[in-house]
Structures are given as C-alpha cells and as structure tokens.
Amino acid sequence: MLCLHIIPEYSETKSFSFELFDYGAYCPTPKPLTGKLLDFISDPHSKGTILVAFGTVINWNRIPREKFEAILTTLNSLTDYRIVWAYNGEHVQTKSHIYTSKWIPQVDVLYDNRTVLFFSHGGLKRY
C-alpha cells in the first residue's frame, strides 16, 4: 500500500488503484500564544497582525539587495500593524512594530484572531 498526501484543490482528477490510500491534508492543533510573541501582538493600538513567512524558500542573504530593500521598506511603512516576520538572514534594522525570529509558531499566529494577513510563498505546507 502506498500512502499519499493529496490536496484535492491542488490536484487533477484521476483514478487510483486500491493499493493507494489518500490520507488528505492535515493541520496541527493551534495553541494559544505565550511570552514575548503574545506581548508583542497584544498592542491595543494595532489594527492587527501581519504574518510574513516564506519557509526555507527564500535565502534572505542571497536575494538582490534592491528586492530586499523594497520588502524591508514596505514592512517598515506598515506601522499601524504588528508584523511577525520569520526571518533568518543577517541582522537588519526594523522599526518597533516588526518582530523577527528564525522560527515562528506559524499555525498558532494564524489561529490568533488578531491576524489579518498572511504573506507567504503559498507552498502546500503553509496553512
């Protein structure tokens, strides 16, 4: 038996033999935010949280400087929002409304009712 992870919305219709089993998509159970991340997101003056996460698709140290500057300038300009950025590049100066970390509990941030936008590469492992 071969087990497959197929998301119907992203695959074409086809018939499979009985030796194939589609176990479907899954999402981990979200947990409440805690610690520094919760304190950061809880700003009462914020219009909401924007999560920026590209997984391992982008090596921030290798993208063209002008592209990186455009992203950084845009994120720095969104001061009405709390931005949570999964960023694993060299140290960069950001404004106080941006929280950077090499790892973000993505499902937990997405589940939080203050999250208003998810900016991602759109891969199948992103929820």
**pLDDT attached to residue 1:** 47
CA distances from 72 to 17, 22, 25, 100, 106 (A): 49, 41, 33, 12, 20
Residue 74 within any structural domain of the chain: yes
Alpha-carbon span 87 to 119, nearest angstrom: 13
Residue 6 has what pLDDT? 59
* Confidence (pLDDT) at 113: 96
- Is 6 within a domain? no
pLDDT at 116: 98
Cα 58 to Cα 87: distance, rounded to the nearest angstrom: 9
What pLDDT does residue 55 have? 82
Evaluate whether residue 14 is within a structural domain. no
Q: Which domain holds residue 82?
A: 27-120
**94 is a domain residue:** yes
CATH number at residue 77: 3.40.50.2000
Number of domains the chain is built from: 1
3 occurs within a structural domain: no
Spans of the chain, pLDDT less than 70? 1-26, 123-127
